[in-house]
Amino acid sequence: MQPLAPLEGNPKLNPKAGPGSSNAAAGAAQAGSNARRASHSSSGRPDPLSTITHASASRIGPGVIPTGLRITPHDDLTPEEKAKRLAAYAAVDEHVKPQHKVIGIGSGSTVPYVVERLCQPPHNNSNSDRWYIPTGFQSKELIVKAGLNLGDVDQFPTIDVTIDGADEVDDELNAIKGGGACQLREKVLAEAATHFIIVADSRKDSKVLGHTWKQGVPIEVAPFAWAKVFVNLQKMGCENPALRMGKMKAGPVVTDNGNFVIDGVFSESYMRDPAELLHRIKMLTGVLEVGLFVGMAEAAYFGYPDGTVLARWQDGRRQKVDATKGLEIAEQGKKV
């Protein structure tokens, strides 16, 4: 059996690689690192690169160079996807300012359009001095692919703006989240943010939670305690709680934190008081987080198939928002 071929450019693994090639590669890497440190040291913010290797998205994953985001021409999208894009664009344009240096990126089908807009003018002019914090694997991949600076809430426990999707939003901007099993990390980033903004298409806009999202409240639980929590939920009056099972996988869904998810359907009488329901579920031993986001959102943006975007604010204001900025790039299907 022949031995595996040594890795190119590593003198420890490839005897044929001369010291010159190794030194050149090391020098280039060090120069790039020093340049990045210099660009961030003047901002007065902590520099994670000084202590943490691979903090930059451009150095994570199998590829050294980010591939960028390919923008689908707007006319090629379905009406629902157009609505999501417009809601995301409007939220970014209204709430992400040049002075914002730490941005939380949520999860779900609308969030790719958030990152898409952040990579377009004028927002991309601030990206070299900005850090992006993901709520899960999906948003981390988006940040990496776009070549943005990847950070973590450990480094930046205070976030300027977090923009996230939702499964359903009621009249008071309370939301159900966790359809993608990211509710724990999503709530951490929502609480850490000075401004928490929701983006969704109009199908997620509801009077009372549970009217359109029929799958139930996502509840993240410690794996060894799921059966006990399951029984407790039944005693509370939960209708048919279900341990969420994986697709293309034998067994239950496992969150990014290594936990299980129980989806609990509650009657409208419970859902009309989401704060009380959240408190009761959260008090059950074994429950780590509940996908009820109560009183957290500052505003929510809903895109409609006719091209309009409705912004609803926590104080009850409603207004139509111009979401056409950036569409000239999207309509051309450019790469950003």
Annotated catalytic residues are 186
Summarised one tens digit per residue, pLDDT across range 258-270 is 999 999 999 999 9
Q: How confident is the model at residue 19 (pLDDT cuts 50, 70, 90)?
A: very low
Predicted TM-score (pTM) of this structure: 0.80
- pLDDT computed for residue 125 by the predictor: 93
Average pLDDT, stretch 18-44? 46
Mean pLDDT of the chain: 84
The model's confidence at residue 24, banded by pLDDT at 50, 70 and 90, is: very low
Q: Which residue has the higher pLDDT, 104 or 322?
A: 104
Q: Tell me the two tokens of residue 166.
A: 């939702």
| Contacts for 144 with CB less than 8 Å, ≥ 6 apart | 57, 60, 61, 66, 150
Inform me whether the pLDDT recorded for 245 exceeds 60.
yes
Residue, of 320 and 322, whose pLDDT is higher: 320
Rounded Cα–Cα distance for residues 40 and 47 (Å): 7
Please choose, from the candidates 305, 303, 300, the residue with its C-alpha nearest in 3D space to the C-alpha of residue 322. Answer: 303
Per-residue confidence band for 87, with pLDDT thresholds at 50, 70 and 90: very high
pLDDT attached to residue 329: 67
Residue 35 above 90 pLDDT? no
Average pLDDT in the 69-73 region? Answer: 83
The mean per-residue pLDDT over the stretch 51-66 comes to: 42
Condensed to tens digits (0 to 9), the pLDDT of residues 105-129 reads 999 999 999 999 999 999 999 999 9
Give the confidence band of 69 by pLDDT, cuts at 50, 70, 90: confident
* CA atoms of 39 and 31, how far apart (whole Å): 12
Q: What is the pLDDT of residue 81?
A: 95
Residue 38: its pLDDT value, please? 45
pLDDT band at 322 (very low <50, low <70, confident <90, very high): confident
pLDDT score of 17: 45
Q: Is 237 left (phi over 0), alpha (psi -120 to 50) or beta?
A: left
pLDDT of res. 68: 72
- Check whether 307 has a pLDDT greater than 60: yes
Q: Which domains does the chain have, with CATH numbers?
A: 74-207+295-332 (3.40.50.1360), 217-291 (3.30.70.260)
- What value does the mean pLDDT take over residues 227-247? 95
Q: Is the pLDDT of residue 14 over 60?
A: no
CB 92 within 8 Å of CB 64: no
**Which of 6-20, 263-277, 286-300 has the least mean pLDDT?**
6-20
pLDDT value at position 331? 67
Nearest to 298 by CA among 94, 84, 89: 94
Residues facing residue 245 across a β-bridge: 252
How does residue 30 score in pLDDT terms, banded at 50, 70 and 90?
A: very low
HEC states along the chain?
CCCCCCCCCCCCCCCCCCHHHHHHHHHHHHHHHHHHHHHHHCCCCCCHHHCCCCCCHHHCCCCCCCCCCECCCHHHCCHHHHHHHHHHHHHHHHHCCCCCCEEEECCCCCHHHHHHHHCCCCHHHHHHHCEEEECCHHHHHHHHHHCCCECCCCCCCCEEEEEECCCEECCCCCEECCCCCCHHHHHHHHHHEEEEEEEEEHHHECCCCCCCCCCCEEEEECHHHHHHHHHHHHHHCCEEEEECECCCCCCECCCCCCCEEEEEECCHHHHCCHHHHHHHHHCCCCEEEECEECCCCCEEEEECCCCCEEEEECCCCEEECCCCCCHHHHHHCCEC
What is the band of 248 on the pLDDT scale with cuts at 50, 70, 90? confident
